[in-house]
Amino acid sequence: MKGKPENRKIAKHIRKLGLKFKQKFPKSNYAVKDRNLITSQKPYSGCSFNTLYLELLSEYLKTEK
Residue 57 has pLDDT above 90, yes or no: yes
Average pLDDT of the chain is 82
Distance CA 3, CA 48 (A): 35
Residue 38 has pLDDT above 90, yes or no: yes
Distance CA 48, CA 14 (A): 23
pTM of this structure: 0.61
Distance CA 44, CA 28 (A): 6
Q: What is the mean pLDDT of residues 3-24?
A: 73
Q: What is the mean pLDDT of residues 48-62?
A: 93
Q: How far is CA 17 from CA 28, 30, 63, in A?
A: 26, 23, 35
Alpha helices in the chain (DSSP H): 10-16, 46-64
Distance CA 30, CA 33 (A): 10
Model pLDDT, residue 7: 60
